[in-house]
Amino acid sequence: MSEVEFLSDEEQRLMCLKKLRILDTPVEERFDRITRIVCQSLNVPVSAISLVDRDRQWFKSVQGLDLFETPRNVAFCSQAILNDDPLIVPDALKDPRFCDNPLVTGEPGIRFYAGCPLKIGDTYRIGTLCAIDHLPRELGEADTVLLRDLAAMVVSEISNMALSQAHEGLLSELKEVERSALIDPLTRLWNRAGGEKLLDREWNAALRHKSPVSFIKVDIDRFKQVNDQYGHDIGDQVLKHIAFIIQSSLRPYDVAVRWGGEEFLIVLPGCDERPLRQALERIMSAIWALPAATDKGDVAITASMGAVAAYPKAGDDVMKLLKKADLAMYMAKSAGRNQYMIDEGEDNALLSD
């Protein structure tokens, strides 16, 4: 296995990566969409957006693996960032750089690798968009061009990340180790502690700007029965599936949180009742249409949702508003589950200036 090679401008490259504040952040649909396209278009089981840190590669998005990072000294992508051109490895067992790599000789059994560097500002290669297969193969010219084009899309998304001001502010204040502690390891959404920090920030931002904010509580129906019938491993796959549906149904600057157990919180800044209802319809339709693909086959699931929208006023309590979303969710469950309700109490009506 080759030793890690460093670029002559390694410290500047790492500084560029740190300034992007993308390491140890939650999953985002805009990036997952691209790795899914790689898998589908190149017919590979694994694709990842890998960011090469000082001692590790960390995946902003990954399809086909349950890994979120690996040591840098075993990372194919660490080799791929040494040059501008894509690194193509038709058969890793026949390549002296990788033939004894534990990712080749053991799990996940990499045989084919194609990684296109992600170059920021035509200067620093911070990582790769890569395609991986468990069988040897070649990559044709048209597929290489496609991988380059998709890598350019990743760079564009990184350069134009559309987070809310409150979200951006939190990321800028937290060190990577602190961000990592606020990410749910199963779903890769914000955990409750991270969600509470963002909740306060979004609420205060809405108060300052006199803009609306909406909250959605999502609870998987009869989740205990899923665990009892199929086991907790399948239950975890169902949770990841719901997290995927929620994330893929939201705007880039909305926030999704695993609030606890099978319950999720969604924060929608700048959102009043009409777009709130549209978001609820998108999520509910996606849950209906897409059963969870698990190791024991497709599992059909439903969810109950409660929501609330308001223009914050001085003296309002965000946790009190969340309780209204909770109550609406429990009303949806009491009414038969598999539906949503919006709290429309008079003291919670949307107010205009």
Closest listed residue to residue 33, CA positions, set 346, 252, 283, 267: 252
Residue matched to tokens 């390491």: 23
Are the C-beta atoms of 298 and 291 separated by less than 8 Å?
yes
Closest listed residue to residue 67, CA positions, set 38, 91, 46, 40: 46
Q: Which residues contact 108 (CB under 8 A, 6 or more apart)?
A: 46, 65, 67, 132, 134
Q: Rounded to an integer, what distance in angstroms lies between the CA atom of residue 198 and that of residue 109?
A: 39
Beta bridge partners of 113: 89, 132
Are the C-beta atoms of 307 and 341 separated by less than 8 Å?
yes
C-beta contacts of 154-161 below 8 A and 24+ residues apart: 154/31, 154/34, 154/49, 154/118, 154/129, 155/118, 155/119, 155/120, 157/30, 157/31, 157/34, 158/20, 158/22, 158/118, 158/120, 159/120, 161/22, 161/252
Q: Among all residues, which ones are annotated catalytic?
A: 262
Q: Rounded to an integer, what distance in angstroms lies between the CA atom of residue 2 and that of residue 35?
A: 27
Largest CA distance in the chain: 71
Q: Rounded to an integer, what distance in angstroms lies between the CA atom of residue 135 and that of residue 247?
A: 31
